[in-house]
Every structure is written in C-alpha cells, then in structure tokens.
C-alpha cells in the first residue's frame, strides 16, 4: 500500500517545489519513497500533461483512485468577483480554486505547502487584486478558500507547512508522519503548523547568538553581529527550527547567510509595518520584542548586557571578520 499524494500549484512562484527538490542528500523522490509516498501527479515532476493529467484528477473525483493527501502550493486566487478565473486549470474550463475545493472533499488529508497556501502569503500583499487567500486562513483569520470548519476525511484541518519557502524536511517529514498515521490534531499548533518545527523559534541555534546575548548588533549587512536591533531580524518571534537543521546539506539559514529573518512562517509576514531590512522602533526600542519577554525585562536586560559586553564582541559585531579573537586563559587548555 502506498500513500498517494496529488500536488497542485495554485498562485505560486514555484519556490516550494524548488525547496522540496533539495530534500535530504538522497533527493525528494527517494525521501518520500522511504515513507511509502507515491506522487500521483505533480505539475513540474510528472510526465503526464494535458488530457492525461486531467484524467488523473478525474479518476480521483470519480472515486476510481483514492487520494491520501492533496498538497497545494500557492494561494487560492478567488478573483475576479469570486469566479476564480484569474487562474484556470488548463484544459478543464474550471478555475484552480474550484478544483481545490472539489478535490479537498476526496482527500484524506489536505496539506498547504508554503505560506501562500497556508495564509495567503505574498500574493495577498498590497491591494490583493487577485483576491488571494490561503486554503483555511486569510492572513491570521480563519476562513480562506475552504472555510474555518473544514476538516478533511482524516479528521484534520488543513495542515499548514508554512514557510516562504518551507524547509524541505518540513515537507517530507509532514508527509512521512501522515503516511505512517503519526500526525494528530494535538501535534499542530494554533495555526495548524506541525509542531515538530513550529514549537521552535527561528532564533534558536543561530550562530549569532553570542552577539544577541550581549546586544552587540550589526549596523550593516556583512557584519557579524546580531541582526535584530537594526536590520529587522524577527527570528525571536518566528516559528521554525530553521537554525537548528541545516539547509542545502550543510550550514545555512537566513541569518547565517547574513539576511534577517522576515518571519516567513507567520501569517501576514508579507506586509510588515516597516521595510523588511529595518527594525521598527518606538522611542528607540524595537516594536517586535522576543516572544515571552515583557518589554520592561527586555529593556533592563538589554541595558545590562550592553554595559557588560566584552570589547571583543562589540568590535567583531560591526566587522565582516573576527578582528579580536577570544583570549583564553592558559588554564583553559
Ligand atoms: S541574527 Fe536574528 S536569529 Fe540570529 S541571534 Fe540575532 S535575532 Fe537571533
Ligand atoms: S529564518 Fe525566518 S525568514 Fe528564514 S526560513 Fe526561517 S522563519 Fe523564514
């Protein structure tokens, strides 16, 4: 018995598929096969096209083929005027939104791959002229294309593998858990994101943590310091174990690459109050403070940390290389 998935691309840049293709050293297909996952059809990976592809969808809606998981990448485009005609599924005369609605009723599980599909994501930014939304969310409000009460045949809401793009392991592990019947409702967080990655903060494990602790901050890209105080890093508020598991087979995360976390796993990340690479502040204090930290504590701790910052940490924070190495006590060795 295989666990059959169908993957559709709605309003998407294709980045989630690109991310999935970097899964593990053995590659996406082998990683999925290890869990018994079979891809019935994927628009970029399957050979079937045109009529042959449509037949696969029709075999599901006629009940001829059972569908274990419908995976949708990209936002649902509901416009114009609720018709969904901004995105038609070629050769069917029907909108993608219409197909997603119907196929969701046949799937044991519905999986939103990426923040666009989960919450609306980048296509919702600005004026949202396409009336884009997520499968079960519109930003942080429940609803979306399928409605807040939707549950798939397996009894779960839409499972949101948030991320723009999500880590490939989040995709393969979620599908693996579903295929082995090990993902239950209590393993989803309040936004229906699998908790195995959403119970972490993206900040956990960042290589800049020593700078964070001392509030020794970068003032420009390429600096080694923490990116939170000046350059907009939101990792202390964002769900994800991005700094605990490597990307691209070795070290690698947004802050590791010198880029602030934009909280891409959060609903509404696409419309920040200020520019992505600037820290919004009020009276000199960042507006977005670490979760679980009352403002007064943060101010007190930051002042204390800054007063105790070693010169080494201060200098290195605003340099693109280590200018003062740690001086070790000889007894240390
Ligand atoms: S750069 Fe971001 S993720 Fe890294 S320590 Fe600073 S706040 Fe945390
Ligand atoms: S570090 Fe932040 S922006 Fe980067 S993938 Fe993780 S949550 Fe998204």
pLDDT number for residue 328: 80
Crossing angle of helices 96-104 and 50-61, in 10° steps, is 40
Decide if 205 contacts 247 (C-beta within 8 A): no
Q: How far apart are CA 187 and CA 176, in angstroms?
A: 14
Same domain, 218 and 192: no
Same domain, 163 and 30: yes
Asked which of 198, 222, 240 is the last residue of a domain, the reply is: 198
pLDDT number for residue 249: 67
Decide if 121 contacts 164 (C-beta within 8 A): yes
Provide block-wise average pLDDT over 10 residues at a time, the chain (333 residues).
96 96 87 96 96 97 98 98 97 97 98 98 96 98 98 98 96 97 97 98 95 96 96 97 83 88 97 92 87 89 92 97 88 58
Q: 253 CB less than 6 Å from ligand 2?
A: yes
Q: 263 CB less than 6 Å from ligand 2?
A: yes
Asked which of 198, 226, 251 is the last residue of a domain, the reply is: 198
Å from CA of 60 to ligand 1 middle: 45
Same domain, 139 and 101: yes
Same domain, 10 and 147: yes
| Residue range(s) defining the domain that contains residue 255 | 200-323
Same domain, 53 and 184: yes
Q: How far apart are CA 290 and CA 231, in angstroms?
A: 15
What is the 3-class SS of the chain, one letter each residue?
Answer: CCEEEEEEECECCCHHHHHHCCCCCCCHHHHHHCCCEEEEECCCCCCCCHHHHHHHHHHHHCCCCCEEEEEEECEEECCCCCCCCCCEECCCCEEHHHHHHHHHCCEEEEEEECHHHHHCCHHHCCCCCCCEECCCEECCEECCCCCCCCCCCCCCCCEEECCCCCCHHHHHHHHHHHHCCCCCHHHECCCCCEHHHHCCECCCCCCCHHHHHCCCECCCCCCCCECHHHHCCCCCCCECCCCCCCCCCCCCCCHHHCCCCCCCCCCCCCCCCCCCCCCCEECCEECCCCCCCCHHHHHHHHHHHHHCCCHHHHHHHCCCCCCCCCCCCHHHC
Same domain, 102 and 135: yes
Q: How far apart are CA 249 and CA 246, in angstroms?
A: 6
Same domain, 260 and 283: yes
Asked which of 198, 214, 235 is the last residue of a domain, the reply is: 198
Which of 261, 269, 277 has most ligand 2 atoms within 8 Å of its beta carbon, as the pocket-test mutant? 261
pLDDT tens profile 86-122: 999 999 999 999 999 999 999 999 999 999 999 999 9
pLDDT number for residue 331: 60
The count of other CB atoms within 10 Å of the CB of residue 192 is 21
pLDDT tens profile 182-214: 999 999 999 999 999 999 999 999 999 999 999
Å from CA of 55 to ligand 1 middle: 48
In ligand 1, which atom is closest to the CA atom of 254?
3
How many domains is the chain built from? 2
In ligand 2, which atom is closest to the CA atom of 264?
8
Same domain, 318 and 215: yes
Q: Which ligand is nearest to the CA of 279?
A: 1
pLDDT number for residue 102: 98
Same domain, 15 and 136: yes
Å from CA of 85 to ligand 1 middle: 42
Same domain, 77 and 96: yes
Output the residue whose Cα is nearest ligand 1's atom 3. 203
Query: What is the pLDDT of the chain when averaged over all its residues?
Result: 95
For residue 149, is it within any domain?
Answer: yes
The pTM (predicted TM-score) of the whole model is 0.95
For residue 205, is it within any domain?
Answer: yes
Q: What is the CATH number of the domain that holds 82?
A: 3.40.50.700
């Amino acid at each position: 018995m295989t666990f059959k998935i169908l993957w559709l691309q709605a309003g998407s840049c294709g980045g989630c598929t690109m991310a999935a293709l970097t899964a593990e050293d053995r590659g996406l297909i082998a990683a999925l096969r290890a869990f018994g996952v079979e891809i019935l059809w994927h628009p970029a990976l399957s050979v079937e096209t045109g009529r042959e592809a449509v037949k696969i969808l029709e075999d599901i809606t006629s009940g001829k083929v059972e569908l274990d998981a419908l995976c949708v990448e990209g936002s649902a485009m509901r416009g114009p005027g609720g018709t969904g005609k901004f995105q038609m599924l070629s050769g069917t005369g029907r909108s993608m939104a219409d197909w997603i609605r119907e196929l969701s009723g046949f799937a044991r599980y519905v999986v939103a791959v990426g923040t666009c599909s989960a919450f609306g994501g980048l296509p919702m930014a600005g004026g949202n002229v396409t009336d884009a939304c997520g499968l079960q969310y519109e930003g942080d409000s429940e609803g979306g294309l399928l409605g807040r009460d939707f549950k798939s045949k397996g009894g779960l809401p839409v499972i949101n593998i948030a991320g723009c793009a999500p880590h490939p392991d989040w995709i393969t592990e979620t599908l693996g858990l579903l295929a082995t019947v090990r993902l239950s409702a209590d393993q989803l967080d309040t936004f229906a994101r699998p908790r195995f990655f959403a119970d972490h903060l993206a900040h956990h494990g960042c290589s800049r943590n020593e700078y964070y602790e001392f509030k020794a901050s970068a003032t420009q890209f390429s600096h080694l310091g923490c990116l939170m105080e000046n350059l907009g890093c939101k990792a202390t508020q964002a769900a994800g174990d991005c700094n605990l598991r490597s990307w691209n087979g070795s070290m690698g995360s947004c802050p590791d690459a010198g880029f602030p976390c934009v909280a891409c796993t959060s609903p509404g990340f696409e419309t920040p109050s200020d520019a992505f690479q600037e820290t919004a502040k009020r009276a000199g204090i960042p507006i977005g403070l670490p979760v679980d930290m009352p403002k007064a504590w943060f101010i007190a701790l930051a002042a204390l940390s800054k007063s105790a910052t070693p010169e080494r940490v201060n200098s290195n924070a605003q340099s693109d290389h280590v200018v003062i190495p740690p001086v070790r006590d000889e007894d240390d060795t």
